[in-house]
Amino acid sequence: MNEPNEIIKTKKPIKYLSVCSGMEAASVAWHHFGWEPVGFSEIEPFPCEILKQRFPNTPNYGDLTKYSEWPIQPGTVDVLVGGTPCQSYSVAGKRGGLNDPRGNLALVFLGLADRIKPKWIIWENVPGVLSSNGGRDFGSFLGALGQLGYGFAYRVLDAQFFGVPQRRRRVFVVASLGDWRSCAEVLSLAEGMRGNLASGGKKRKGVAADAGASVEKPSILWSAGGQANAERLIDKAGTLLCHKSQQGGYITPIIIDLGDTRTTHAVVEPQVYENRPNMAVRRLTPIECERLQGFPDNWSRISWKGNPPEECPDGPRYKACGNSMAVPVMRWIGERIQKFTHDHE
């Protein structure tokens, strides 16, 4: 993972509450800044166990719909962050939007915000939220933020421009109590800056570029997204596992994009069988999926159902990785809030 080059200190550590926590991309992204989690909210058994083992001193309050029972007082949380379930907004689903119970968790999220009154709110979802119900669902969410006294800004950010080797577009809403200009400043992207979608085709620095600098670029054999998507993936195998060849060099795997950014990516890599080179197709390993999201290796490999970490099954690890936010994107947003807070203290 990339470490921040320079950490700007604030007078007091920023305290945050993370809901729909999953395997906690926010905490992995923000612990370098000294931010302090006051609690999590997760109900899925496997991610709950990740939280318990990785953050034993932070309470998991569980069911988001029971937020009124949580012992959190107004004014004690600086940042509320969460990505409520996206299935009701995804273009791949039935698109029930706010009529779907999962979509309604977005309104529960707002109810929590109204109760604890954080200075900042960060909400993440799939791009399909912009067109769900003709855009009315997203408009209702933003309108409710305004009624609660929050100014806001939003934009679509793609993880591939923040140093991880995958194309993962997500909508990020940043809201600030009483002021929209601070949100616009947090989400602003200068021309040529890493993360700027318009300059994404330019050579950029970061994890993916640095990790692949010493190996030959792979080729894309097939991509569900067509040739344009294949070209985007050409330079993105650097953070995947590389294998040492008999000649002493390192062979980079070749990515096959199966059209699903969650768990169905595969790679094609050179292998030697009976002294003849062959191409073998395999699924990404859990470690590679963690790297695609910017997590440390084996972050999701935990003791599970009485078994040691080395016996942790792959299935729940794939699901946890696929449902997570991308760590580098969360780190970038955190850096911007940290800097804004420092500059205006």
255 and 130 share one domain = no
Assign 3-class secondary structure to 214-277. CCCCCCCCCECCHHHHHHHHCCCCCCCCCEECCCCCEECCEEEECCCCCCCCEEEEEEEECCEE
> Greatest CA span in the chain, whole angstroms?
69
Extract the tokens encoding 28: 């992995």
Tens-place pLDDT, residues 287-325:
989 998 999 999 999 999 999 999 999 999 999 999 999
Identify whether 2 is part of a domain.
no
Q: Are residues 330 and 266 in the same domain?
A: no
Amino acid 332: pLDDT: 96
Domain that holds residue 288: 214-306
Is 207 inside any structural domain? Answer: no
Does 120 lie in the same domain as 78?
Answer: yes
Does 276 share its domain with 338? no
184 and 51 share one domain: yes
- Name the domain count of the chain: 2
The amino acid at 40: F
CATH number of the CATH domain containing 186:
3.40.50.150
- The pLDDT tens digits of the residues spanning 70-117 come to 999 999 999 999 998 755 444 444 544 445 544 478 889 999 999 999
Question: Measured between alpha carbons, how far is 18 from 226 in angstroms, rounded to an integer?
Answer: 37
Q: Which entry of 20, 48, 86, 242 is annotated as an active-site residue?
A: 86
Q: Are residues 278 and 250 in the same domain?
A: yes
pLDDT band at 194 (very low <50, low <70, confident <90, very high): very low
Q: Are 76 and 179 members of one domain?
A: yes
pLDDT per residue as tens digits for the range 13-63: 999 999 999 999 999 999 999 999 999 999 999 999 999 999 999 999 999
Backbone CA torsion sign across 237, 327, 178, 86: positive
The answer, yes or no, to whether residue 225 has pLDDT greater than 70, is no
Q: Reply yes or no on whether the pLDDT at 342 is more than 80.
A: yes
19 shares its domain with 149: yes
Residues 194, 221, single domain; the answer is: no
Domain match, 129 and 22 both: yes
**Is 40 among the domain residues?**
yes
Q: Could you tell me if residue 9 is inside a domain?
A: no
Whether residue 86 lies in the annotated active site: yes
Q: For residue 314, tell me if it sits in a domain.
A: no
115/247 same-domain check: no
Is the predicted pLDDT of residue 235 greater than 50, yes or no? Answer: no
User: How many other β-carbons are positioned within 10 Å of the β-carbon of residue 58?
Assistant: 17
pLDDT band at 270 (very low <50, low <70, confident <90, very high): low
pLDDT for 85 equals: 76
